[in-house]
Amino acid sequence: MRVALFVTCVNDAVYPATGIATVRLLERLGVEVDFPEAQTCCGQPQYNTGYRRETVPLARRTARVFDGYDHVVTPSGSCAAMVRDHYPAMGDSAAAAFAPRMYELTEFLVDVLGVTDVGAYFPHSVTYHPSCHGLRLLGLGDRPRKLLNAVKGIELRELPGAQECCGFGGTFAVKNADVSTAMGRDKARNAVSTGAEVLCGGDNSCLMHIGGVLSRESQPVRPLHIAEILASTEEEPWS
Amino acid sequence: MSGTFVGMPSFPTAARGALADETLRGNLRYATHTIRDKRAKAVAELDDWALLREAGKQIKDHTLRNLDRYLLQLEEAVTAAGGVVHWAADADEANRIVADLVKATGESEVVKVKSMATQEIGLNEALAAEGISAYETDLAELIVQLGDDRPSHILVPAIHRNRGEIRTIFASEMGKWGRAAPDGLSDAPGELAEAARLHLREKFLRAKVGISGANFMVAETGTLAVFESEGNGRMCLTLPETLISVVGIEKVVPTWRDLEVFLQTLPRSSTAERMNPYTTMWTGTTDGDGPSAFHLVLLDNGRTATLADETGRQALRCIRCSACLNVCPVYERAGGHAYGSVYPGPIGAILSPQLRGTGSEIDASLPYASSLCGACYEVCPVAIDIPEVLVHLRDRVAHQGGRGHFLERAAIKAAGWVFEHPGVLAAGERAATATRKLHPSRVPGAGAWTNSRDLPPMPPESFRDWWRRNRSQGAAPAGGRKDDGS
């Protein structure tokens, strides 16, 4: 099977390790991965800040970049939700037609490839934060958990208040910085309370926010994208 | 008594005070989590919840699409049953109608059933200006009124108060307005409720005029319905000689059969009860039973304008259950007062800017008072897609002008250009990674982020540069890899 990777602008610029892990993971599972280099941003930040009409050209562009691929895989729940939920209502036929071909990574693994054990090895304690867009917009359900449960050596710990928003919310994080930070601190405190080494999630923008709080408060919990855990093997372990 | 929300600062500014108040945050956290968990259990009992939710949505949408017809049918039915219907285009007109009706009775006191519509129009303040005292009789509204406070929750308006604070308010204020609280009043819930009961009983027995809202109005028979828990509503709706009900025009439903849906979804969504303790329904007047005069004031006050907006109109489905407030992480931390309206929380953030417009500082800031986490939409018993309406209203605010949004629009336009040119984006990424060792964790001008959060360290190279070195055509020999393990 041949798929296109939509790495997302945040992962491209700030979290390339997540993109690299996604490529290695998919290739290990026998999937041929393309990276159309003309891709940029899905338009989510602009759209959610109130710039809907300004987002339409980006949506049309993204649809064009991925033309010809039946499956486009992205390691981001919120970018996948942006394409799947909002592209169809933008009044652009190309964007609407493209929307259903976008898959969030864990969804692609479980639903399309039909795997839950991806042969990963990760001998660390991990707590999982299901980001809002994956949880409530995409309805990822227990897919990420099924994948994590099958990882060899992992010790999963329950995150208290897991379903509550971390407070990132795109430009909300700066437009309402005080409320956003209060939410982030509560999420960070809950993560620390589990005693886990790693806080795992499917959206690096949320992890950037929670991680920023953890780092400022000198907490030892390390935020990590689920792709990096699933890519880790005994031969090539995450470090 | 009781303050107003006029001249409120923007949401982020107003929220700052609440965030610093540890007692308030503790009260809100405890209360919202308790109701949230109870609601989840009450809803989980019904196998057909999803169908009830869909039915509620469809009934409301159908009614709103045919609102003109159902309102006229309602007016005809109420009139035939002995009531008098008044139409009020805005708050001033509604207040004037009610004040004139009260004055015509010769009374200077009224008792009130808990009502969002009368709070929305500032009826108590308008009546006070005419020399008429309006007494709130719902326990929480009484606490708010005696404390010269503002409501901070739709269903539990004194949610920001704890038992100790309520005891203090009762002990010092009740005597100024009627029967004083008993000496030695403690903060035991039973004692506080008894003090309120004794204080209010005098008012129920004396009042000649009652004022209410309504949860629903049934067009086919002209029947109004009030759902409540304490019985104070039943007192106000049955004891006085004159009853005046001020109701938003969106509260009409076509038939009794439609009520069946909301009789199930409203109590479970609001108080997490299978059925609310008191449901009072009345149709016009009945000789020798209840008020002999009934007036219905139908309130527009921005609702018709809201109805004209294809995306925003779904806010008019709201049945004021408060489920969205109780699950909202922003409400939990910012508190209800920060929303600058009698409608706080997620529903307030989409209702206030539509009913009042987005001209004021607070109303223009409300659509941004959300992380778009979607918890509100998930629990809404009439499926109002609150995040969708928030984004829609942000679009309206962003394009209505203003200096802040002028700069933001320019930035969005610039970002759009960069994203149209991947080469420029790649060059920018390379510049950022090349200088990464120089990036401080606190950046001047980026204080909104870096005051409380570190920025992530920049990687040695972007993903697209890694791809180019390792995977793009000619980069890697077949089967070979040049991964550097970054």
Q: Which domain holds residue B412?
A: 407-456
If asked whether residues A108 and A145 sit together in one domain, one would say: no
Asked whether residue B321 is domain-assigned, the answer is no
Whether pLDDT at B482 is above 50: no
- The pLDDT value recorded for residue B442 is 65
If asked whether residues A22 and A82 sit together in one domain, one would say: yes
Q: Do A216 and B454 touch (CB under 8 A)?
A: yes
Give me the sheet containing B242-248, strands edge to edge: B84-88, B293-299, B242-248, B209-212, B109-112, B133-136
When comparing pLDDT for B473 and B165, which is higher?
B165
Contacts of B415 in chain A (CB under 8 A): 41, 45-46
If asked whether residues A154 and A54 sit together in one domain, one would say: no
Of the residues B304, B323, B357, which one is the last residue of a structural domain?
B304
If asked whether residues A19 and A79 sit together in one domain, one would say: yes
If asked whether residues A152 and A198 sit together in one domain, one would say: yes
- The pLDDT value recorded for residue B412 is 83
Asked whether residue A237 is domain-assigned, the answer is no
- The pLDDT value recorded for residue B413 is 83
pLDDT band at residue B385 under the 50/70/90 scheme? very high
If asked whether residues A109 and A136 sit together in one domain, one would say: no
Looking at chain A, the number of H-run helices and the number of E-run strands are 13, 8
In DSSP notation, B85-107 reads EEEESSHHHHHHHHHHHHHHHT-
Whether pLDDT at B1 is above 60: no
Contacts of A43 in chain B (CB under 8 A): 419
- The pLDDT value recorded for residue B480 is 40
If asked whether residues A143 and A227 sit together in one domain, one would say: yes
Judged by DSSP in three states, A201 sits in: strand
Asked whether residue A236 is domain-assigned, the answer is no
Question: What integer is the mean pLDDT of B44-48?
Answer: 97
User: Which of A51, A132, A177 is closest, CB to CB, to B373?
Assistant: A132
Asked whether residue A120 is domain-assigned, the answer is no
- The pLDDT value recorded for residue B232 is 96
The distance of A111 to chain B (nearest Cα, Å) reads: 24
**Structurally, how many domains does chain A consist of?**
2
Q: How far is the C-alpha of B161 from the C-alpha of A152, rounded, in Å?
A: 50
If asked whether residues A159 and A72 sit together in one domain, one would say: no
Of the residues B272, B304, B336, which one is the last residue of a structural domain?
B304
The distance of A148 to chain B (nearest Cα, Å) reads: 22
Residue B464 touches chain A, beta carbons under 8 Å: yes
Question: What integer is the mean pLDDT of B323-346?
Answer: 97
* pLDDT tens, residue by residue, A39-56: 999 999 999 999 999 999
Q: Do B419 and A51 touch (CB under 8 A)?
A: no
Cβ atoms of A126 and A157 closer than 8 Å: yes
- The pLDDT value recorded for residue A196 is 98
Q: Dihedral sign, CA of B471, B474, B478, B484? A: negative
Q: Do A61 and B420 touch (CB under 8 A)?
A: yes
If asked whether residues A138 and A226 sit together in one domain, one would say: yes
- The pLDDT value recorded for residue B438 is 74
User: Which of A33, A51, A209 is closest, CB to CB, to B453?
Assistant: A209
What CATH number did the domain enclosing B103 receive?
A: 3.40.50.10420
Cβ atoms of B144 and B157 closer than 8 Å: yes
If asked whether residues B87 and B233 sit together in one domain, one would say: yes
Residue B37 touches chain A, beta carbons under 8 Å: no
Of the residues B249, B276, B304, which one is the last residue of a structural domain?
B304
Q: Which domain holds residue A38?
A: 2-113
If asked whether residues B248 and B108 sit together in one domain, one would say: yes
Q: Do B416 and A46 touch (CB under 8 A)?
A: yes
- The pLDDT value recorded for residue A94 is 96
Asked whether residue B411 is domain-assigned, the answer is yes
Which of B377, B380, B417, B452 to substitute to test the interface with A, most A CBs within 10 Å? B452
Asked whether residue A11 is domain-assigned, the answer is yes
Contacts of A178 in chain B (CB under 8 A): 12, 15-16, 19
If asked whether residues A152 and A130 sit together in one domain, one would say: yes
Whether pLDDT at B238 is above 70: yes
Which of B326, B391, B453 to substitute to test the interface with A, most A CBs within 10 Å? B453
Whether pLDDT at A98 is above 70: yes
- Sequence-distant (6+) residues with CB within 8 A of A131 are A77, A78, A166, A201, A202, A203, A206
Contacts of A171 in chain B (CB under 8 A): 368
What CATH number did the domain enclosing A12 receive?
A: 3.40.50
The distance of B30 to chain A (nearest Cα, Å) reads: 14
If asked whether residues B76 and B197 sit together in one domain, one would say: yes
Residue B442 touches chain A, beta carbons under 8 Å: no
pLDDT band at residue B75 under the 50/70/90 scheme? very high
Asked whether residue B462 is domain-assigned, the answer is no
Query: pTM of the entire structure?
Result: 0.94
Of the residues A113, A145, A169, which one is the last residue of a structural domain?
A113
Q: Do the bridges between strand A72-74 and strand A222-225 make them parallel or antiparallel, or are there none, so unpaired? A: unpaired
If asked whether residues B179 and B35 sit together in one domain, one would say: yes
If asked whether residues A95 and A197 sit together in one domain, one would say: no
Asked whether residue B334 is domain-assigned, the answer is no
If asked whether residues A100 and A7 sit together in one domain, one would say: yes
Residue B473 touches chain A, beta carbons under 8 Å: no
Which residues 325-354 of B have a C-beta within 8 angstroms of A?
Answer: 329-330, 333-334
Asked whether residue B139 is domain-assigned, the answer is yes
The distance of A136 to chain B (nearest Cα, Å) reads: 7
**Structurally, how many domains does chain B consist of?**
2
Asked whether residue B416 is domain-assigned, the answer is yes
Percentage of chain A surpassing pLDDT 90?
99
Q: Which residue of A has its CA nearest to B395?
A: A50
If asked whether residues B46 and B177 sit together in one domain, one would say: yes
Which residues 371-410 of B have a C-beta within 8 angstroms of A?
Answer: 371-375, 377-378, 391, 393-399, 408-409
Of the residues A113, A137, A155, which one is the last residue of a structural domain?
A113
Q: Which long-range contacts (CB under 8 A, 24 or more apart) does B76-79 make?
A: B76/B222, B77/B219, B77/B220, B77/B221, B77/B222, B77/B223, B77/B283, B78/B222, B78/B283, B78/B284, B78/B294, B78/B296, B79/B222, B79/B284
Q: How far is the C-alpha of A147 from the C-alpha of A229, rounded, in Å?
A: 10
Q: Which residue of B has its CA nearest to A232?
A: B485
pLDDT band at residue B446 under the 50/70/90 scheme? confident
